[in-house]
Amino acid sequence: MIDTTKLLILALCGVVTSLLLSYKQVGALYRKYGTFYKSYLSFSNPPTPNQSRKSSYSKKDGDPQVAAEPTPLMITPEQVKSYDDRPWRPFRWPYHQTMSIFKLEINHWLDMDKYYWHYIKEKERIWFKYGKENIDWLPEGYEPSLELMETVTDHMLKRYPLCFTLIEDRGKDGKIVKNELTEEVIDMSRPLKEHPLLYVTKMAKEDFYLVMKNPKDDLHYLVAAAVPFPGGSFGINHKIGKHLDVIHNDVPYYHEKLKTSMERWFGRLTPSSPVERASWYMTWDHKLRQNNVYKEPELTEQVKKEALTMDPKDFHVRVERQTLRRLPRTQAIIFTNHPIFYSLDEMKNEPLVPSLIRKIIYEAPEKIIKYKFFEIFRDHIAGYLDELIQRQIDMGLITKETPVKTLPTYPFAHWAEADFDYVNGGFNNPSQKPDHSKEYETSSKDD
Ligand code: HEM
């Protein structure tokens, strides 16, 4: 009798404790103490991707026209040198072409990482070598570009106060800012000496697309773009002034699966409801402007030969980390894109990652396989992926029966913490600390 009462009291305490703990706390405890690897073995019903991170654009708390302000991250330029971006793992299975967007915490609009200097240097080189092929604008893109420049400036000053210093605020006549990372003084006094997008490329490592709705047809057009790192084989000069349908013309299943929801969604996007998403493909170089896998179609045979000479261990995933937000004054939609590379080797201890990649490169929808050129190299790297999968089985990270499906921590690695607000160290992979600087230096310049 006493035992039953004790049991009842304990059970009651358990229920009360769980009610008191927020979902986030439970998540944090789970990550800290839970046997994540073991849970995988019996994981039969994972949350649907982004269940807890769904965009909240439908439930607005404040004024939808007011964008959230970032909070300061007191990271120094010295600390940025060893800082890693959030560890993206945007592998989905089942894999359908969907919007796959989730709420963006404004602090992560323009994240920092240790390759910052390389990206900024490359942007300058690409602008001088390729000009309008990568950075271009229409006259109607000027005002949105100006608002973007001001927004990026304010964001950097507020979010990274030790990396950006306000030298002089001349109010309506502009700002002079020092980028403490590159040590460049950026004079944005009016009248500007250069196009606003060029100042943006001196502060942020991301690529930027500026999209405006044309009141004549109510459709969205690309009015300006600073895109030094498209990765693919498209030049911005061919995309500028084009409607999103034309821009996405070659994107698999765009017309069937994306077009309608995208236009509808753009209509609802407000400054207070930014979102992010990530896509990925595989490559064997670290070129930012154009990866070898995306060389022109007439070079496909040559590219194929090159791919087959590469050590499968040198293949990696290029994640395209993207954000979307609306600027309040001009109502322009800002789309950012930023490449981050992860080698297969650095992800080898992460349960199911090799299995997911293998499944996707062979079983993804046909048109996606073609668009991402998986056929060119998949047989070449399949043996290596199989070795990694077997290794995970031997280590007890997964079993042969573990269902291959989207990670519960999608779109991030399982070892990442949830609040992502660290000063020291960023997100170095606990199993090893990869540094891709050498690959960047050797492979970026021969485009
Ligand atoms: C929620 C909004 C959006 C979605 C869901 C989306 C989706 C996609 C997808 C699926 C691709 C194919 C590559 C991949 O697998 O990711 C793609 C490519 C592309 N997107 Fe978007 N996109 C969005 C917004 C935009 C915006 C606002 C722009 C700005 C112009 C843009 C420009 C591009 C470009 C330039 C490409 C490369 C096209 C090519 O291969 O020629 N996207 N997009």
Give percent of the chain above pLDDT 70: 85
Question: 49 preceded by cis ω (within 30°)?
Answer: no
183: number of Cβ within 10 Å: 8
Ligand 1 centroid, distance to 298 Cα (angstroms): 24
Is the CB of residue 222 below 6 angstroms from any atom belonging to ligand 1? yes
Ligand 1 centroid, distance to 249 Cα (angstroms): 10
Ligand 1 centroid, distance to 247 Cα (angstroms): 8
Among 256, 277, 260, 286, smallest CA distance to 366 is for 256
**What ligand 1 atom has the least distance to the C-alpha of 335?**
27
Quote the CA–CA distance of 221 and 245 in Å, as a whole number: 9
Radius of gyration of the chain (CA): 23
Question: 94 preceded by cis ω (within 30°)?
Answer: yes
Which whole number is the average pLDDT over 26-38? 34
Quote the CA–CA distance of 322 and 319 in Å, as a whole number: 9
pLDDT at 278 over 60: yes
Q: What is the pLDDT of residues 405-433, one digit of tens each?
A: 999 999 999 988 766 777 777 777 877 76
pLDDT value of position 8 = 52
Which of helix, strand or coil describes residue 53? coil
Is the CB of residue 209 below 6 angstroms from any atom belonging to ligand 1? yes
What confidence category does residue 5 fall into, taking pLDDT thresholds of 50, 70 and 90? low
Q: What is the pLDDT of residues 227-257, one digit of tens each?
A: 999 999 889 999 999 999 999 999 999 999 9
Burial of 108 from C-beta contacts in 10 A (0-12 / 13-18 / 19+): middle
Q: What is the pLDDT of residues 159-199, one digit of tens each?
A: 999 999 999 999 999 999 999 999 999 999 999 999 999 99
Is the CB of residue 95 below 6 angstroms from any atom belonging to ligand 1? no
pLDDT value of position 21 = 39
Which whole number is the average pLDDT over 211-216? 94
What confidence category does residue 31 fall into, taking pLDDT thresholds of 50, 70 and 90? very low
pLDDT value of position 443 = 75
Is the CB of residue 369 below 6 angstroms from any atom belonging to ligand 1? no
What confidence category does residue 338 fall into, taking pLDDT thresholds of 50, 70 and 90? very high
**What ligand 1 atom has the least distance to the C-alpha of 236?**
35
Which whole number is the average pLDDT over 38-53? 34
Which whole number is the average pLDDT over 64-88? 94
Among 159, 158, 157, smallest CA distance to 167 is for 157
Q: What is the pLDDT of residues 112-167, one digit of tens each?
A: 999 999 999 999 999 999 999 999 999 999 999 999 999 999 999 999 999 999 99
Is the CB of residue 101 below 6 angstroms from any atom belonging to ligand 1? yes
